[in-house]
Amino acid sequence: MRRRPLLLATCLALPVALGALTAGVLAQAEGERRFDAAAARIRAGLGPDGALEWTSRTIDPVSGRAVLQGVTIRRGAERMTVVDATLDDLRADGVGRALLNGVRVEAPDPDGGPRPMVATAVRLAFSALSLPTRADGPAVDWSGAAIEAAVGEELRVETPGVAVAELARMQVAGYAPGTLREAAIEGLRFVDRREGETRIGLARARLAGAALPRFGQPFDPWVLAADSALIEGAEVAVEKENVAFRLGRTQLDGWGEGRLATLAMAGLAVQGDAPNSGPFAAEVARIGFGGVALRDTAYAIAHNLNPPQGAPGQDQSAAIEGIALALGGTPVLSIAAIRGLNTWDAAAPGVEVGRLGVEGLRLDLPPEYGGAMLDSLGFKGIQGGLGVDTRLTRKEGRLVIEHFFIQADGMGRFGTTMDIRGFDVPVPGQPATDDPLALVSNWAVASMSLRYADQGLLRALVARQAAEERVPERQLRERYATMALRTPLPGAGRGKEAPGVTRVREAFASFARDLGTIELAIRPAKPVAFLQAMGFAGMPPDQAVRELNLTATATPPGR
């Protein structure tokens, strides 16, 4: 009686076991069928001179996972080997997951040299890899390839004795035909030994939200677009040119047609040894700008077209900070910051307001380029800045330079203002002109002023001349004032000068005596051609006074 329960259990378990065994056999058969189909597609894509081989394969009867050992793929002179490969979820058009260890690729030198190119990777991993079939056969349609994720570790490409590139890690996420969610690389090192050594290093780079050409399609760089791109720790050294470049970090957001970009760079440096001037070094601490149609501007420049213009309400800004230049180990130039802004006047619709400023400028000229002369006058360097404020009304074709100045602390300050009419902004996208005269041919000047305020430069020059001639400074200044009053001028007979010319003479004489401020202004009854206005200094004085309403005003120091 006790044997009956055992017999009953055996009868019940036997169909289950047979079913499981049958299911396992069927699962393994399905796995082998899928693998064989995938292998057949690869062989078809390799062509008649290609081959796919392995030393062993194992297919799990439950999951269908395929494990290969000693994989070799050949096509002509190209050869790829894989120590082991694990494939999950094989499909007719791709694979769910793939892991390749010990990858090696050998191919002929792309430059036709005798040494082969060798590429290796310690590990390659893929997930959700889709490889659709071409419409005209079983080969892969690479233009339709897609992948959810891919990782490569310790990659190396080398042409022995020529060049080598190494990459610690590469990662791709979310690639579909023409789009990429994210890609990143870390630890890039490249050395080219064809003409001395050229070394390139990159700590990290990342690309996100990108639009790319499809695989196999002609490459057009102007189709590229990206939400953001990042580069960190970039270095380039060219032994032949004896120059090295370093970039700490660059972040670019918004590259693409019709997009406004933002750029932030930090830690830019170039150093080397020039044949004529010797060692040099240049550094820029930070560069940034925003609201600029960078891609469209670059496209316009590359194709000799007028660049795009800002639209009302769109501000554009730029800043460069921490500029330094040294020659032969001696500082020559430093600038604390260059800042620019193009915005719109809220109280005057359609009026663009531009500002540009150079702050903390210091220039230490080498002795042979004027440094010795400045030193003899008591100036150890030039410190100061410059700036300009403008207002542009496109509809009226009017550009007003409200204030432009160049300041040299303790030396002098030069400034100018100008009101230009007929200022036509070039039409974006139209062919650009390289003729500067064509750009200004329609300009007319409604008013202009030039102003110089001495802060010590002219006084130092007069003091040195007075010491050399052994005369009092006041006597020397009076001599210059007399020259301003009595020097004959073309186009005017003695005693027959127009009153306006006499007043200009008197202003220059007053400036020569006091060395304060001198201002020249033209305010014609109606706007005159730009080139005519710029040439007023070469006109006969009577004509300048009559046609341009030229005036001069001198102001003593401190007023």
486 and 548: one domain? yes
33 and 147: one domain? yes
- Closest Cα to residue 358, out of 392, 307, 323? 323
User: How do the residues of the chain divide into helix, strand and coil, expressed in percent and rounded to 5?
Assistant: 25, 50, 25
Task: Please state, in angstroms and rounded to a whole number, the distance separating the CA atoms of residues 388 and 357.
Answer: 7
3-class secondary structure per residue, 412-457: EEEEEEEEEECCCCCCCCCECCCCHHHHHCCCEEEEEEEEEEECCH
Instruction: Provide the pLDDT for residue 527.
Output: 94
Is 92 in a helix, a strand, or coil?
coil
- Closest Cα to residue 80, out of 61, 54, 58, 56? 54
- Assigned domain for 280 exists: yes
185 and 80: one domain? no
Instruction: Answer with the one of 125, 152, 179 that is the final residue of a domain.
Output: 152
- Closest Cα to residue 290, out of 264, 311, 269? 264
Mean pLDDT along residues 483-496:
74
Residue 492: pLDDT band (50, 70, 90) is: low
Task: Please state, in angstroms and rounded to a whole number, the distance separating the CA atoms of residues 357 and 319.
Answer: 10
Is 466 in a helix, a strand, or coil?
helix
- The structural domain count of the chain equals 3
144 and 39: one domain? yes
Whether 13 has a pLDDT exceeding 50, the answer reads no
176 and 131: one domain? no
458 and 477: one domain? yes
pTM of the entire predicted model: 0.84
CB-based contacts of 18: which residues, under 8 Å, 6+ apart? none
Give the domain range for residue 244. 161-308
Instruction: Answer with the one of 95, 125, 152 that is the final residue of a domain.
Output: 152
- Assigned domain for 232 exists: yes
Which residue do the tokens 């090295």 mark?
244
For residue 208, the one-letter residue type is A
Residue 253: pLDDT band (50, 70, 90) is: very high
Task: Please state, in angstroms and rounded to a whole number, the distance separating the CA atoms of residues 226 and 9.
Answer: 66
Task: Please state, in angstroms and rounded to a whole number, the distance separating the CA atoms of residues 492 and 541.
Answer: 8
How does DSSP classify residue 81? Answer: E
503-537 pLDDT tens trace: 999 999 999 999 999 999 999 999 999 888 888 77
Instruction: Provide the pLDDT for residue 14.
Output: 33
Instruction: Answer with the one of 132, 152, 172 that is the final residue of a domain.
Output: 152
HSE of 550 in the Cβ direction (CA atoms, 13 Å)?
27
Share of the chain above pLDDT 90, in %: 63
203-240 pLDDT tens trace: 999 999 999 988 777 888 999 999 999 999 999 999 98
Contacts from 331-340 at CB under 8 Å and sequence distance 24+?
Answer: 331/362, 331/364, 332/363, 332/364, 332/365, 332/366, 333/362, 333/363, 333/364, 334/360, 334/361, 334/362, 335/359, 335/360, 335/361, 335/362, 336/360, 336/361
